[in-house]
Amino acid sequence: MDRNTKKIVIAVDGFSSCGKSTMAKDLAKAIGYIYIDSGAMYRAVTLLALRRNLFLPDGQVDTEKLRTILPNIRITFTLNSEGRPETCLNGENVEKEIRGLEVSSHVSRIAALDFVRSELVRQQQLMGQEKGIIMDGRDIGTCVFPNAELKIFVVASAEIRAQRRYDELTAKGEKVQYEDILNNVQERDRIDTTRAVSPLRKADDAIELDNSHLTPEEQKEWLMEQFNRVIASL
């Protein structure tokens, strides 16, 4: 069988701002797989909760109302003119909005709700039924696809991730302090790894990739080697 007929599931998990989605997207394009950004799905639910005023003044979520609307939420992905996936919420393209500060600062509350996780995990598993998929997130190798043929767990030091984020933002002309970004990265790590439901952890059979000192090219090459190795072993 050739590479195209043997389809696998690739799970990419890791800390925030590790470059997971860029690497997963690049690999998906190179091997003709579907790429799914599971974080975008949590962000889309958060956007809907914000629009429906489901965040209470004390910061808690109105879970009763969210439970009633959740079954009707449809999250899909569409390719833009450059071939990049964009997130749609009930048919509306919300890619830009879900990356904004408002959603970013509320999403961890939504991602900590077990009933939201079980619904999104169900939808993610359906997307992977036919294989030929790369999904990135925090619980893909542990919960969503525990039988994925290739699992990558990406790490990089908090300082390096903060520096990358700082460079990205200052290049866009934003005035930011490195210390603030570092604090934010460390706080997000703490929330991701200590939450009660599906905390971020490396699956026992995941391969760790520390990309602190890798160039994007070296990383691409490494990933392609892992993919080819798994395909050849099938």
Q: Give the footprint of ligand DC on this chain (CB under 6 A).
A: 16, 38-39, 42-43, 107-108, 111, 137-140, 192
Contact 155, 15 (CB under 8 A): yes
| C-beta closer to ligand DC: residue 219 or 231 | 219
| C-beta closer to ligand DC: residue 6 or 163 | 163
| Residue 145: CB minimum distance to ligand DC, A | 11
| Residue 2: CB minimum distance to ligand DC, A | 31
| C-beta closer to ligand DC: residue 142 or 219 | 142
| C-beta closer to ligand DC: residue 16 or 184 | 16
| Residue 232: CB minimum distance to ligand DC, A | 29
| Residue 62: CB minimum distance to ligand DC, A | 19
What's the rounded Cα separation, in Å, for the pair 94 and 15? 24
| Residue 46: CB minimum distance to ligand DC, A | 8
| Residue 233: CB minimum distance to ligand DC, A | 26
| C-beta closer to ligand DC: residue 1 or 101 | 101
Give the per-residue SS3 of the chain.
CCCCCCCCEEEEEECCCCCHHHHHHHHHHHHCCEEEEHHHHHHHHHHHHHHCCCECCCCCECHHHHHHHHHHCCEEEEECCCCCEEEEECCEECHHHHCCHHHHHHHHHHHCCHHHHHHHHHHHHHHCCCCCEEEEECCHHHHHCCCCCEEEEEECCHHHHHHHHHHHHHHCCCCCCHHHHHHHHHHHHHHHHHCCCCCCCCCCCCEEEECCCCCHHHHHHHHHHHHHHHHHHC
| C-beta closer to ligand DC: residue 43 or 165 | 43
| Residue 5: CB minimum distance to ligand DC, A | 29
Contact 84, 134 (CB under 8 A): no
| C-beta closer to ligand DC: residue 6 or 189 | 189
Length of the chain (residues): 234
